[in-house]
């Protein structure tokens, strides 16, 4: 039995909590540490199979635990892509093997990739995946589905099989036109112009229309603009099952950060100006935003150091999400209760996950600098390198076992 005594709860009480465990251990919260449900990250890229030099499930699991996270949803844009039942099973086998090697029984769910040639296989895997991921615009991995007829089929099949659809909502035609217009421009900040706000809105509106037509549950992944939020609000008012995911980098970074990040600042969808960041925070306050994720998408320093547009898009973020949110709590941008809702409760409810006794023990007063060299992700860099944050996880409790976050 695991005993955590003198620990603060969200209700404001100091309590002693017991957790079923093979370990006989007592941790003293000393009346100052806070216990909350462990986080769920619904959007990660652990790069297995095909790009394990960027990340694998050994390094990814350690990084997740360091961030207070005990469950992740991994995306399908692997090599080979997770678009057939065979590839899905091979991926599961690799993951289980790597987690066993790491000695961390990380909870995970997998997205199935939407692919024109293999859409009919969705029924075979429907009960084994968390959802169907559709890339309406190009990103890492090459999975793009922008043909209207194929999109219709994907939403129709998903609705029939009762499989949730998650979309990367950027209009590919607009992206390609903008790339041609800005060809030769090597300033990384042009990335936010090429992948303009209108491209995100157009794809989001198209996805919402299809979800309404076929009664499909829909997640708009990494929502990044005010206009997308407005469209999602309108869909919710029509009582459509449309959910809004926001990623932490769109809350804490903006286009001004290109000045210090350079090519390291590229991500899809791109960094937006502060007006959109403010709108996302308002979306959190009014309940339009359903949950947060990291879109943890690691690349090596060497890869990110390439000149634009050769540099790949994506940030590592799984170890910094909770400290960033706790620091925002101290800045009075968000409540602790809202953090728990956005990183655990809402995700559990929307995706129908079983409850568990995973927790994270937090020191709200700890101040610590983000140091890229101390990160456990293979990429060993962070867009928040050098930033001092207040509020850090100390211990993560997964399946009754205690893991140190340092």
Average per-residue pLDDT for the chain: 96
Say whether 295 is catalytic.
yes
Cβ-Cβ contacts under 8 Å for 74 (sequence gap 6 or more): 44, 45, 46, 95, 108, 109, 110, 111
- pTM flag (> 0.95): yes
Least-confidence region, from 138-147, 164-173, 210-219, 267-276: 138-147
- Segment 148-189, tens digit of pLDDT: 999 999 999 999 999 999 999 999 999 999 999 999 999 999
pLDDT at position 139, please?
A: 66
**Rounded-to-integer distance, Cα 404 and Cα 394, Å:** 6
Task: Locate all alpha helices (DSSP H) within 215-353, ordered by sequence.
Answer: 226-237, 248-252, 258-261, 274-286, 301-304, 321-330, 336-340, 346-350
Catalytic one of 171, 295, 358, 363: 295
The CB density around residue 175, as the number of other CB atoms within 10 Å, is 21
User: Which letter does DSSP use for residue 255 in this model?
Assistant: G
- Segment 25-54, tens digit of pLDDT: 999 999 899 999 999 999 999 999 999 999
């Amino acid at each position: 039995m695991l005993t955590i005594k003198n620990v603060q709860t969200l209700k404001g009480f100091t309590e002693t909590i017991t957790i079923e465990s093979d370990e006989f251990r007592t941790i003293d919260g000393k009346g100052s540490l806070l216990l909350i449900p462990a986080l769920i990250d619904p959007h990660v890229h652990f790069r297995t199979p095909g790009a394990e030099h960027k990340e694998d499930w050994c390094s990814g699991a350690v990084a997740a635990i360091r961030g207070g996270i005990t469950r992740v949803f991994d995306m399908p844009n692997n090599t080979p892509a997770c678009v057939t039942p065979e590839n899905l099973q091979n991926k599961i086998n690799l993951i289980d093997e790597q987690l066993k090697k790491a000695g961390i029984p990380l909870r995970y769910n997998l997205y199935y990739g939407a692919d024109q040639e293999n859409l009919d296989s969705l029924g075979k895997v429907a009960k084994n995946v968390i959802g169907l991921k559709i890339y309406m615009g190009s990103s890492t991995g090459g999975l793009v589905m922008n043909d209207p007829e194929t999109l219709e089929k994907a939403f129709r099949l998903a609705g029939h099989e009762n499989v949730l659809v998650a979309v990367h909502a950027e209009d590919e035609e607009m992206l390609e036109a903008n790339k041609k217009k800005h060809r030769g421009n090597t300033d990384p900040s042009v990335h936010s112009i090429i992948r303009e706000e209108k491209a995100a809105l157009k794809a989001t509106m198209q996805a919402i229309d299809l979800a309404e037509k076929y009664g499909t549950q829909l997640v708009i992944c990494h929502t990044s603009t005010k206009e997308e939020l407005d469209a999602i609000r309108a869909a919710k008012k029509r009582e459509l099952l449309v959910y809004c995911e926001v990623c932490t980098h769109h809350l804490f970074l903006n286009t001004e950060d290109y000045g210090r990040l350079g090519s390291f600042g590229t991500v899809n969808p791109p960094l937006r100006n502060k007006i959109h960041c403010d709108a996302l925070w308002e979306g959190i306050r009014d309940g339009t935003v359903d949950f947060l994720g990291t879109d943890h998408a690691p690349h090596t320093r060497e890869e990110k150091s390439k000149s634009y547009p050769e540099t790949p898009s994506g940030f590592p973020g799984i170890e910094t999400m909770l400290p960033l949110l706790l620091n925002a709590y101290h800045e009075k941008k968000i409540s602790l209760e809202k953090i728990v809702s956005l990183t655990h409760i809402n995700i559990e409810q929307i995706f129908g996950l079983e409850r568990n006794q995973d927790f994270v023990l937090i020191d709200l007063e700890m101040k610590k600098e983000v140091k890229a060299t101390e990160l456990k992700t293979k990429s060993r860099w962070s867009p928040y390198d050098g930033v001092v944050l207040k509020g850090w996880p100390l211990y993560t409790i997964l399946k009754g076992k205690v893991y140190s976050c340092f």
